[in-house]
């Protein structure tokens, strides 16, 4: 009897696991894995519950890994949904609910594939399934905690497949072999408050901030690299909190977000931001404080035997040759890339995080087929 990934998806959707709540989602996955002979380890850190399931010998030199998450983003206004956000309703072959696309269906597909694979054709090797409840949140105590635990216990994946949705429009059109780095920087410019009729008695932080933001936004970071589009910098907010039109404020704040390719490191970009801020501070006789958060570095899994296996599996199941892409935002692959080669392969992501998030039931079964082929060919 095969494992039905659509039924497993529905059971997961019915768990209202809005990050960081688990709401029983991991137990839905744990039960069939344990029944299939997987050894379960619960890794809890910072109030987050994570699951590591292993089939085969610990520390086996040929260990295939899957990674995913069962936490979801909030539903927003429930009244805007035409289907219950946690109902897993199916209409015209489409299943609705928060997490249907991102990414309870992906988790269900690789869990179902792994269970059936080890029972039907036990491989010479091991499988590790790492599932977190902290991907949509701060992501500090989820996949990172699992990787830390694995390191402490001498566990390691040879390669890892992440089940995030990767296709923009059609099933099978794209894989992710890397991701851009992401970082944000918050600037606080401080001058001297004063009357707007006597600007010479004040030091206005606004012209300094305007100059700095213009210089940063106008700067060409690069023209792209072999596998990446050009890096981008976006000014996302400039604020003074000043309600008066006759007062020059003392401070002004702003934030920029940078998505960068493998021509840069977060540290090098941070140095550049500090240098630009220092030049503007000197020119306008103000002080500029800077806070920087690097969410992840850019990375690339070079095309090769692993990506060939995934591409061939996608071709066989969808009749499409997927593009090897590095586009999009960040995912937990940014943590795994320091551990082993990692590729992301999943469903169409058009509805993720939206009202009436949904997934084609046929695509869930198709994705299980892709993962099954990947396992069969990788262990062959």
Pairing state of beta strands 63-69 and 126-132?
Answer: parallel
Cα–Cα distances (Å) from 286 to 86, 217, 367, in that order, read 52, 20, 56
Pick from 53, 52, 50: nearest CA to 38? 53
Q: How many CB atoms lie within 10 A of CB 24?
A: 15
Do both 15 and 163 map to the same domain? Answer: yes
Catalytic residue among 22, 134, 135, 164: 135
Contact 258, 269 (CB under 8 A): yes
DSSP letter at 228?
A: -
Q: How many domains does the chain have?
A: 2
Q: Do residues 360 and 224 both lie within one domain?
A: no
The enclosing domain of 238 has a CATH number of 3.30.70.360
Indicate if 135 belongs to the active site: yes
CB 287 within 8 A of CB 203: no
**Residue at which a domain ends, from 296, 313, 335:** 296
Q: What is the mean pLDDT of residues 170-197?
A: 97
What whole-number percentage of the chain has pLDDT above 70? 100
Answer yes or no: do 11 and 158 share one domain: yes
Residue 1 has pLDDT above 90, yes or no: no
Q: Do residue 76 and residue 87 come from a single domain?
A: yes
Does the structure show a pLDDT above 90 at 332?
Answer: yes
SS3 14: coil
120, 40, 163, 105: CA torsion to nearest 10: 80
**Mind listing the pLDDT tens digit for each residue in 277-286?**
999 999 999 9
Average pLDDT, the chain: 96
Mean pLDDT of 160-173: 96
Average pLDDT over residues 298-326: 97
Cβ(28)–Cβ(12) below 8 Å: yes
CA distance 192 to 295: 34
pLDDT digits (tens, 9 = 90+) for 19-76: 999 999 999 999 999 999 999 999 999 999 999 999 999 989 999 999 999 999 999 9
Q: Which of 277, 296, 315 is the last residue of a domain?
A: 296
Which of 296, 324, 351 delimits the end of a domain?
Answer: 296
Candidate list 71, 141, 262, 344, residue with the active-site label? 71
The tens digit of pLDDT for each residue in 336-377 reads: 999 999 999 999 999 999 999 999 999 999 999 999 999 999
Clarify whether residues 292 and 330 are in a common domain: no
* 172 and 189 share one domain: no
Same domain assignment for residues 170 and 152: yes
Distance CA 188, CA 182 (A): 21
User: Same structural domain for residues 237 and 247?
Assistant: yes
- Are 308 and 209 part of one and the same domain? no
Q: Domain limits at 203?
A: 181-296
CATH number of residue 351's parent domain: 3.40.630.10
Same domain, 61 and 157: yes
Residues 70 and 171 in one domain: yes
Q: Which of 54, 14, 59 is nearest to 34 (CA)?
A: 54
- Clarify whether residues 259 and 119 are in a common domain: no
Q: How far apart are CA 72 and CA 353, in angstroms?
A: 8
């Amino acid at each position: 009897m095969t494992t039905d990934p659509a039924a497993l998806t529905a059971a997961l959707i019915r768990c209202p696991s809005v990050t960081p709540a688990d709401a029983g989602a991991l137990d839905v996955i744990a039960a069939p894995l344990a029944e299939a002979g997987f050894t379960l380890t619960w890794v809890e850190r910072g109030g987050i519950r994570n699951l590591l399931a292993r089939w085969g010998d610990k520390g086996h030199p040929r260990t295939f890994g899957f990674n995913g998450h069962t936490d979801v983003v909030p539903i927003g206004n429930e009244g805007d949904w035409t289907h219950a956000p946690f109902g897993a309703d199916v209409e015209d072959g489409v299943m609705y609910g928060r997490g249907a696309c991102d990414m309870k269906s992906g988790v269900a597909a690789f869990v179902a594939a792994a269970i059936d694979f080890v029972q039907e054709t036990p491989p010479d090797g091991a499988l590790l399934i790492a599932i977190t409840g902290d991907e949509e949140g701060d992501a500090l105590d989820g996949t990172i905690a699992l990787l830390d635990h694995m390191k402490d216990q001498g566990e390691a994946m040879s390669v890892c497949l992440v089940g995030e949705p990767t296709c923009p429009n059609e099933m099978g059109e794209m894989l992710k072999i890397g991701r851009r780095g992401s970082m944000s920087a918050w600037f606080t410019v401080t001058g001297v408050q004063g009357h707007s009729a006597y600007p010479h008695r004040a030091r206005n932080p606004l012209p300094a901030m305007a100059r700095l933001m213009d210089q940063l936004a106008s700067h060409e970071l690069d023209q792209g690299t072999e596998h990446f589009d050009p890096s981008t910098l976006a000014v996302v907010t400039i604020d003074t909190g000043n309600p008066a039109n006759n007062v020059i404020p003392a401070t002004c704040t702003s934030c920029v977000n940078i998505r960068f390719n493998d021509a840069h490191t977060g540290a090098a970009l941070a140095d550049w931001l500090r240098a630009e801020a220092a030049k503007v501070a000197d020119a306008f006789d103000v002080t500029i404080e800077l806070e920087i958060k690097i969410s992840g570095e850019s990375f690339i899994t070079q095309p090769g035997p692993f990506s060939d296996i995934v591409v061939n599996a996608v071709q066989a199941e969808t009749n499409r040759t997927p593009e090897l892409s590095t586009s999009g935002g960040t995912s937990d692959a940014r943590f795994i890339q320091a551990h082993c080669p990692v590729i992301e392969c999943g469903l169409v992501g058009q509805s993720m995080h939206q009202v009436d998030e949904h997934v084609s039931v046929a695509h869930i079964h198709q994705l299980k087929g892709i993962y099954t082929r990947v396992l069969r060919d990788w262990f062959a």
